[in-house]
Structure 1
Amino acid sequence: MKYLLLICFLFQISAISANAQAYKYHTVKKGETVFSISQAYDIEEEDIYKYNPDAKSGIGVNEKLVIPIQEGQNSNASAGVKFREHKVQKKETLYSLSKQYEVSIDDIKRYNKHLYAEELESGETIRVPVSGTIPVNKPVASQTSQSKPKSPQDLSRTREHIVLPKETKFGIARKYGMTLEELNELNPKVDVIQPGMMIRVGTNVLEDEPVIITDERLRFYEVKPQETLFSLSQRFGVSQDSLKRLNPALEDGLKYGMILKVPEKENPDFNEEDYAFAEGAADIKVDLENSLSNFSTKEIAVMLPLHLDKIEQDSLESYRNIVLDERVVRISLDFYTGVLMAVEEAKSLGISTNLKVFDTKRQASEVANIISANNFSNTDAVIGPLLQETAEAAASRLENRNIPVVSPLSNREMRGYQNLLQARPTDEVLRKAMMDYIVRNSSGKNVIVIADGTNFRVKSELGNRLPSARFVNPVDKVVKEAQLKNALMPGANWVILESDNISVLSSATSLLNRLAREHDITLLTTNKNSTYEDDNISNMHLGRLKFHYPSVDKEYDTTTSQEFIDSYKARFGNEPNQFAVRGYDLSMDILLRLASAENLMESFQRYPGYTEYYESKFHYLPNPDGGFMNDAIYILKFNEDLTISKANDF
């Protein structure tokens, strides 16, 4: 029932979108390809495949294709213009291509609109208009608004510039109000710039350049760990945009160790503690509902692999079968129900949300198409995509716009984009937290480590941090009783079990369960992997052994969340599962943070403690490679009655 309701809702979204769309037929001519047709109509290839799925197998002469035409779009915008396809090679630039094909950079961008917002990438294929076939009648407004070319006299007045780390030709040219062509003309022998290199630049500055201080009042500053662009703007009393103008390298994101040009004097009212991630703040719980102040409508984009392209106009049953057969789609729909519940709950607190849902189809290329075809300029946050590759694709495309992309479920190590927030702690974060817990509470315990060969790194770290620990090595994937008995001592025994092999885990837990009749034994692990869910591992044994492990989610407490469960059942017909609750927790946290600060990044600084909801908690710290990572986890333990509770420090 829940899936049927969601399918109908998503189908309505799809239908509404289609009804607002205009179409025309295109008859395929000899030599035409899907790519050339898409370029002729100024649309993406995926738009053609969406309405002509058979085109993926090829198109033939005189075949009719359905072409979507946006309202107001001129389908003959490229009429009469001839194109050649060009695959971008390494070190090629728009300037070099304009020279090679004798066309202007603006004309190349005109027919490859993504280049207005993105850099030219090696390996991509663009279309270059053939010189002589390009319309020359341009609007007067466009001509008058363009800045006049610099005269030879202007270019003769130059100064020297020392290239700083992370600076690019594009950034340097913009900084001095020059074009790339002019910069290259002043430095004809400089192909690739390097830090410390001295080059010639102009002396003029763009009229709209927000220069707020003169060079005499500047100094160099080395970025410290965990500093952010927001905290630096507060430290030096300048806007973030001004810092970026002074330091073009910041367009690629702030990095630890970067050398920045900043004002000589710092803001006297700046308090570093207010903007740093305080030591020990992860132990302080924050209730953001008590700090709501920003009640502007929140623009949220949700990217999930819904595969809406598989919905047939005359049959929802086929899509329902897809949902039942494909786990990722089921997870996406469950997660989305949680998002909807959070939006509704936030509304009761006065937080309005404009929610836009996009279908990623589990493809990074589709994510790129979504971002290119839609306006994300006012977006406060993107929730999703679910998978690592698609989440990284979204973060990469939106990084230069400072739009946060929140990866909700991936626990893999991800690339360090400045705008990427990893909401699910990685396995390494879990392992480290559990290791710290063991070391912190091991005093007075007889610690025994059982680790197989694949876990040698954890074994080695435990040995270094717990010098008095005893080690029992499995033999032929089995833990021997004699070895384990010899390692046990009177009093409290902590046994740390590190393996994902069913034979090792089964023999160890069974043996420890028997020995627990005569010894005080607590079982712990830094990695509760899926093998613990095997039928050969007895939960009764784990309960008797007071099994401790790290977890992203705590046990769902129905006594404290009955109202949520009842509301969910009333809306979707059954109780929420872990992905629905995760969708609610994460979305509610994002909406509350946006309503209690100017943006997500500022909320991390303003409220350095952790937030907690039905199953999850969140505490974001800067990732050394860029972006932010949630390091808030639970240490859980099995009880003899087979319940699971949070473990407190002893």
Structure 2
Amino acid sequence: MKYLIMMCLFFQVISLTAFGQAYKYHTVAPEENVYRIAQKYNISAEAIYKLNPDARNGVNVGSKLVIPLQEEKVVNTSEPVSFKYHKVEKKETLFGLSQRYNVDIDEIKKYNKHLYSKELQQGEEVSIPVYAKTETPLPKAVAQGPPPVQITKTREHIILPKETKFGIARKYGMTVEELEKLNPKVDVLQPGMMIKVATNVIDEPVIITDDAFQFYEVQPQETIFGLTQRFQVDRDSLMALNPGLRDGLKSGMVLKVPTRDARGRELEDIEVEVTETAAGEARATRLEDNIKDRSTKNLVLMLPFNLNKINNDTISNSKNVIENDRVMRVSLDFYSGVMMALERAKELGISTNLQVFDTQRQAGKVTSIIQSNNFSNVDAVIGPLYQATSEEAASRLSATGIPVISPLTNRELRWMPNLYQARPSDDMLRDAMIDYIRNNSQGKNVIIIADGKNAALRNRLNNAIPGSRIVNPSDNNISEGSIATSILKDRENWVILESESVGLLSSATSALNRLARNNKITLFTTNKNSSFDSNVLANDHLGRLNFHFPSEYKEFDETVSDMFIDKYKSKYGYVPNNYTVRGYDLTLDILLRLAAMSSLEESVRANILTEYVENKFSYRPKANGGFYNDAIYIMHYNDDLTLSVAR
């Protein structure tokens, strides 16, 4: 119970944003009115009336309202009526603050002058101007033509972002042709536009965000039996997905149908299960398609929750401990991902018995846990997090052969026959980056900038890439002129920057950014250390330089729907961080390997590569015993500071 309380305290809801305005449906509950609903979503009642004009006459229990998750931002020409004061948290940006408080970035900078030249600093207090609310004109209704004879009753529908005619037609029990006849002057749908629709509403949102489904328009002469065969779905499932079929199938009807068969395979590529690669390389495999053993799996999770720091007397004490203990927060984040993975595995028919132990970050505690509990039927141990505790667990269980998976440490672990290092080491990341540059730098002008601490790496790079040019910095600083002499205007210039000095990184990226105005320059590093995240470095410089670096994970694209991300946001109210996603990816991978390959070691012998939301896994045996994951991403910044996987 104490741990459940901690979890409830830790997970806090934050608002979600999207490109442009974001909307959702709200079903009116008993005792709710427009004013209370507006308070719930932190918007004005007028914002609700603009999208739901009939609400001015009152709302009924069970009726649905279109809710803007944020009111439209306006450019303010007046003086603020007051100020809010915001304490900056880790990774917060000006863009995020502007979205949260519905003000322009320039307005925030105007009242925080230092932000014109500096980035946000964690812990600083920022003044947020508050303006008097202004009215936004209601979107004009689209001129309507006479409705078709067969649709005698209509209602109005406000177009939301990403909605299509297929989705709207399906929701209101219409064909696309009927929808177009009701709205003859509407060609392209635009968010905020008002159109006429039928009144037979299916009780679900218009937008289908799960890529497991698609829209399909019924063709003449098609039958329900034919559709079940075409989309590999039984009749009852098709009827459940499309309640309108109870009234019969008709040509032009828009149906919701699966994109995958019962085994999870893409219907268009139903015979393709494994992607072949070059000789010796791992095969990219969807283990969900190869589940053979659906027996209950027994897992043990060892994490340093440090529950001994929690007092039972006050909730406030527990909250303070969680906020101030990074190790505890990481453990909680990872645990939440593990639990989501167990839910996903259960959906695939794999049940799990999970035992959770608090290691308190002590090797002695790990020994005590193993000696005091029966591990005879355990299939795998996930954790502990740190090198010493991971090695202790593997050592104590080596005689049993139970695999111990170290999820987060990037240090080289001791060799032990049952120890799996799931996170590639820094040396592996560096090797992968050097291989990428060597294999793709033909015809490029390669320039190496490395400080004295990285002299050995500079020599290694010079040997790996013959013909590369070396520019030596001076006192952790480098000038534009010293780099310019090595730049070639008629070729692509690949600059490799190796240092942990913030001063050198800042001067180098600033100089390269200026030189990039008239030259083609791409920036690389083999070690994206914490200095690259310093506020002294300008992120927009890294974006313009298309900065490349090796990483054990890729950041998921929030604009693309993903089943895990969508479920997590729905459950907890905010986007999961990389520790949570790693807990999910790693746990699901272990369960699927056990279900498809009978053991983790067998999956290593099969030489397979698996990939999930942010992480991929390709285990290799160590020379003296044990296994390591060598699946690595080469990431790069885009101009808009989003991240992509380098091809």
CA contact (8 A) 1:282 1:619 kept: no
Match of 2:584 in 1: 584
* Residues 281 and 610 in structure 1, CA contact (< 8 A), matched pair in contact too: no
Match of residue 600 from structure 1: 600
| Equivalent position of 2:439 in the other structure | 440
Aligned equivalents of 2:2 and 2:389: distance in 1?
24
Alpha-carbon offset, residue 467 of structure 1:
1.9
Looking at structure 2, the residues matched to 538 and 517 of structure 1 have their Cα atoms a distance apart, in angstroms, of 16
SS of match in other structure, 1:425: coil
2:456 corresponds in structure 1 to 457
1:493-543 C-alpha deviation (Å, 9 max, x unpaired) = 111111110111011100000001111111111111110111111111111
Structure 2 CA distance, aligned partners of 1:487 and 1:372? Answer: 63
Are positions 1:544 and 2:544 aligned together?
A: yes
Aligned mates of 1:359, 1:642 — CA distance in 2: 38
- Per-residue Cα deviation, 1:119-147 (whole angstroms, up to 9, x for no partner): xxxxxxxxxxxxxxxxxxxxxxxxxxxxx
SS in 2 for 1:400: coil
Q: Which residue of 2 aligns with 1:213?
A: none
Deviation at 1:318, TM superposition (A): 2.5
1:296 Cα shift?
1.4
Q: Aligned in 2, Cα 1:279/1:372: closer, same or farther, shift over 3 Å?
A: farther
| Structure 2 CA distance for aligned equivalents of residues 538 and 553 of structure 1 | 23
Provide the aligned length of Structure 1 versus Structure 2.
Answer: 381
Distance 2:374 2:278 in 1: 39
Secondary structure in structure 1 of the residue aligned to 2:409: coil
2:558 matched to which residue of 1? 558
Bigger shift: 330-339 or 319-328? 319-328
**CA-to-aligned-CA distance 1:397-421 (integer Å, 9 cap, x gap):** 0111101100001001111111110
Residue of structure 2 in register with 1:336 after alignment = 335
Q: How do 1:225-624 residues align onto structure 2 when only pairs under 5 Å count?
A: 280=279, 282=281, 284-489=283-488, 490-606=490-606, 608-624=607-623
Q: Please give the secondary structure, in 1, of the residue aligned with 2:299.
A: strand
**Distance in 2 of aligned mates of 1:638 and 1:8:** 34
1:321, distance to aligned residue in structure 2 (A): 2.0
Residues 302-347 of structure 1: per-residue CA shift (max 9 Å, x gap) = 0001122334444444223211110000000010000000001000
- C-alpha contact (below 8 Å) 2:382/2:407 kept by paired residues: yes
Where is the helix percentage greater, Structure 1 or Structure 2? 1
CA gap of 1:413–1:641, structure 2 versus 1, over 3 A, is same
- The residue number in structure 1 matching 2:641 is 642
TM-score by length of 2: 0.57
Q: Judging changes above 3 Å, is the alpha-carbon distance between structure 1 residues 3 and 639 closer, same or farther for their aligned structure 2 residues? A: farther
Q: 1:280 to 1:498 in 2, by over 3 A?
A: farther
AA of the residue aligned to 1:550 = P
CA distance in structure 2 between the partners assigned to 1:614 and 1:405 by the alignment: 22
Whether the 8 Å contact between 2:480 and 2:515 is mirrored in structure 1 is no
Shift of 1:370: 0.2
- Post-superposition Cα deviations, 1:476-495, rounded to whole Å, max 9, x if no partner, equal 11113232111111211111
Q: Give the deviation of 1:295 after TM superposition.
A: 1.2
Q: Following the alignment from structure 2 to structure 1, what is the Cα–Cα distance between the partners of residues 376 and 298?
A: 10
Partner SS state of residue 494, structure 1: strand
Q: Distance in 2 between matches of 1:561 and 1:396?
A: 42
| Counterpart AA for 2:448 | V
2:191 aligns to what? Answer: none
Q: Match for 1:364: what amino acid? A: A
Q: Give runs of aligned pairs for residues 117-128 of structure 1, distance below 5 A.
A: none
Deviation, structure 1 residue 9: 8.6
Verify the 8 A CA contact 2:333 2:580 in the aligned structure 1.
Answer: yes
Percentage of pairs with the same residue: 53
Which of 540-549 and 363-372 deviates more? Answer: 540-549
CA distance in 2, matches of 1:645, 1:502: 24
State the secondary structure of the residue aligned to 1:431. Answer: helix
Report the CA distance shift for 1:567/1:469 in structure 2 as closer, same or farther (over 3 A). Answer: same
Distance 1:526 1:280 in 2: 26
Letter in 2 for 1:382: V
Q: In 1, Cα distance between the equivalents of 2:587 and 2:455?
A: 38
CA distance, structure 2, for counterparts of residue 546 and residue 637 of structure 1: 6
1:6-25 to 2 correspondences below 5 Å: 7=6
Asked if 2 retains the 8 angstrom alpha-carbon contact of 1:554 and 1:646, the reply is yes
Q: Distance in 2 between matches of 1:550 and 1:280?
A: 23
Distance 1:558 1:486 in 2: 41
Distance in 1 (CA, whole Å) between partners of 2:448 and 2:280 is: 31
What's 1:94 paired with?
none
| Structure 1 contact 394–405 (Cα < 8 Å) conserved | yes
Structure 1 residues 449 and 281: CA distance shift in structure 2, 3 A: same
The CA deviation at 1:279 is 6.7
Query: Counterparts of 1:137-156 in structure 2 under 5 Å?
Result: none
- The amino acid of 1:487's aligned partner reads S
Look up the match of 2:629: 630
The 2-side partners of 1:278 and 1:442 are apart by 22
Q: Distance in 1 between matches of 2:5 and 2:416?
A: 33
Task: Write the deviation string for residues 594-633 of structure 1: whole angstroms up to 9, x where unpaired.
Answer: 1001211111112x13111101101100122421110101
Q: Distance in 1 between matches of 2:282 and 2:550?
A: 16
Aligned residue for 2:500, secondary structure, equals coil
Deviation at 1:569, TM superposition (A): 3.0
**Separation in structure 1 between the aligned mates of residue 279 and residue 391 of structure 2, nearest angstrom:** 30
SS of the residue corresponding to residue 285 of structure 1 reads: strand
- The answer (yes or no) to whether the contact 2:277–2:283 under 8 Å persists in 1 is no
Summarize the Cα distance change of 1:4–1:299 in structure 2 as closer, same or farther, 3 Å threshold.
Answer: closer
Q: Please give the alpha-carbon distance, in whole angstroms, between the structure 2 residues aligned to 1:351 and 1:330.
A: 28
- Structure 2 regions of 5+ residues with no counterpart? 10-275
Q: Does the aligned pair in 1 maintain the 2:298–2:353 contact within 8 Å? A: yes
Deviation at 1:6, TM superposition (A): 5.4
Q: Distance in 1 between matches of 2:279 and 2:526?
A: 22
Aligned to 2:158: none
Q: State the alpha-carbon separation in 2 of the partners of residues 492 and 576 from structure 1.
A: 38
**Structure 1: tracts of 5 or more residues without a match:** 11-276
Please give the root-mean-square deviation of Cα atoms over the aligned residues, in Å.
2.2
Q: Which moved more, 1:624-633 or 1:285-294?
A: 624-633
So what's the TM-score if we normalise by structure 1? 0.57
Asked if structure 2 preserves the Cα contact closer than 8 Å seen for 1:415 and 1:625, the reply is no
Displacement of 1:562 in angstroms is 4.0
Separation in 1, partners of 2:616, 2:557: 14
SS at match of 2:6: helix
Amino acid aligned to 2:566: D
